[in-house]
């Protein structure tokens, strides 16, 4: 008998089947499933319906993030990592939610141009604190500054996800989470960096 576990129940949910008893994941190389909530037609909200996408062609993770690779590996999803140089800036007037989604889409499409006939999964995360948006820190000093500004405050974390099918169709969504940081001392900030 098989058990099903959902990892990161959000716009892109990894569905992992495991054997009852030993709890080991079933190897999901070509028989794996990627489950995605796709935007409802005509809206930017997440549809409640789910679509199962067979991974009978390679999955390419368009991200150098060790954490994103770890999530797929833990789920037993065989994948390769490929990145492309992508403009990660957002146009003036674009909201953090829109920026997270549009950057994820640009990353996915940039990698898709080099991996025809594959599934491409990309993501981008933007932190929004009182109207100020934070992307990836440029360096350690930038990371310290960001953590100091987030210390003791609530903020929104927006993760844009984009999935390109082997036929070139792109689907995307954004998951937003409210996070509250407790006050961080300079020593704690240094430890995080």
Q: Is residue 5 part of a domain?
A: no
Structural domain contains residue 68: yes
**124 catalytically annotated:** yes
| C-alpha span between 128 and 95 (Å, rounded) | 9
Tell me the per-residue pLDDT of 15-26, one tens digit each, with 9 for 90 and over: 434 444 444 433
The tally of domains found in the chain comes to: 1
Instruction: Report yes or no on 91 lying in a domain.
Output: yes
Average pLDDT over residues 3-18: 40
Assigned domain for 92 exists: yes
**83 belongs to a structural domain:** yes
Residues facing residue 147 across a β-bridge: none
Residues 52-91 pLDDT 10s? 445 567 789 998 888 888 888 887 778 888 888 887 887 7
132 near 141, Cβ under 8 Å? no
Catalytic-role residue among 44, 56, 124, 141:
124
Question: Model's pTM, two decimal places?
Answer: 0.67
Average pLDDT, the chain: 74
| pLDDT higher at 6 or 156 | 156
């Amino acid at each position: 008998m098989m058990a099903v576990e959902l990892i990161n129940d959000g716009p892109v949910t990894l569905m992992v089947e495991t054997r009852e008893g030993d709890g080991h994941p079933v190897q999901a190389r070509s028989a794996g499933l990627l489950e995605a909530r796709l935007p409802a037609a005509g809206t930017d909200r997440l549809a409640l319906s789910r679509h199962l996408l067979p991974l009978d062609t390679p999955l390419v993770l368009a991200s150098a993030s060790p954490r994103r690779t770890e999530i797929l590996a833990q789920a037993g999803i065989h994948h390769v990592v490929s990145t492309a140089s992508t403009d990660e800036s957002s146009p003036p007037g674009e909201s953090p939610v829109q920026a997270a989604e549009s950057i994820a889409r640009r990353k996915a499409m940039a990698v898709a141009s080099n991996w025809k006939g594959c599934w491409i999964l990309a993501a981008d995360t933007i932190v929004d604190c009182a109207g100020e948006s934070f992307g990836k820190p440029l360096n350690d000093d930038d990371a310290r500054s960001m953590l100091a500004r987030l210390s003791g405050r609530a903020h929104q974390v927006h993760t844009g996800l984009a999935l390109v099918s082997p036929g070139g169709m792109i689907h995307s969504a954004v998951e937003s989470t409210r996070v509250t940081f407790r006050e961080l001392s300079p020593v704690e900030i240094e430890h995080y960096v």
